[in-house]
Amino acid sequence: MRPFVPAALAMCTLALPVALLPPSPASAAAVFVETSPSTARAGDPVGIRASCDDNLTAAKVTAGPMGSVTVSPRYGFLTATVRVPATTDPGAYRIELRCPDGKTATTTLHVVARVEPARGPATGAGGTAPGRSAQILLGGGATALAAGILVGVAALRRRRVS
């Protein structure tokens, strides 16, 4: 088994320069742009995260209804936060990144209408629920309470008599 040790050592020595080569272009940073969230209501803030080959230089993003936005280097990505104007119509808007070297990437931001509920859900509050059943519920509850009190009084009187 000893003759194999020099052969294995020679193989590792030959493989070391290959392991130290710079990464291939396929594993280099991808050019992309994304929004978080991808669907937002008119008037809400939206985060933009992008990447160019060189994330050390700011880039421009044309963000549909928000206009042109500069994304700046932060945490290894190009980022910015913008607010969708409250007057924006619902629809799908194209977001385009233009890197300093001319490369581009696109994504879509979906804007939905800002709808506020007129009132809370009608869950009722026990006996205060409107309708014909309210009187029955109140009467039944009062009857059950009175019966409980009578049974309690009768039980206490029996104990005292004994």
Kindly report, residue by residue over 112-136, the tens digit of the pLDDT.
987 777 777 767 665 555 566 667 7
- Within 10 A of 114 (CB to CB), how many other CB atoms are there? 14
Task: Report the pLDDT averaged over residues 27-47.
Answer: 84
* Euclidean distance between CA atoms 29 and 51, whole angstroms: 7
CATH code reported for the domain at 27-112: 2.60.40.1930
What burial class does residue 116 get, using C-beta atoms within 10 Å of its C-beta: 0-12 exposed, 13-18 middle, 19+ buried? exposed
Alpha helices per DSSP H over the chain: 4-19, 133-161
The answer on pLDDT for 1 being more than 70 is no
Mean pLDDT highest for which of 10-24, 85-99, 109-123? Answer: 85-99
* Nearest CA-CA partner of 33 in 64, 1, 2: 64
What is the predicted pLDDT for the residue at 143?
93
Q: Check residues 147 and 132 and name the one with the higher pLDDT.
A: 147
Task: Please report, for the chain, the start and end positions of each structural domain, with discontinuous segments joined by +.
Answer: 27-112
Candidate from 15-29, 65-79, 124-138 with smallest mean pLDDT: 15-29
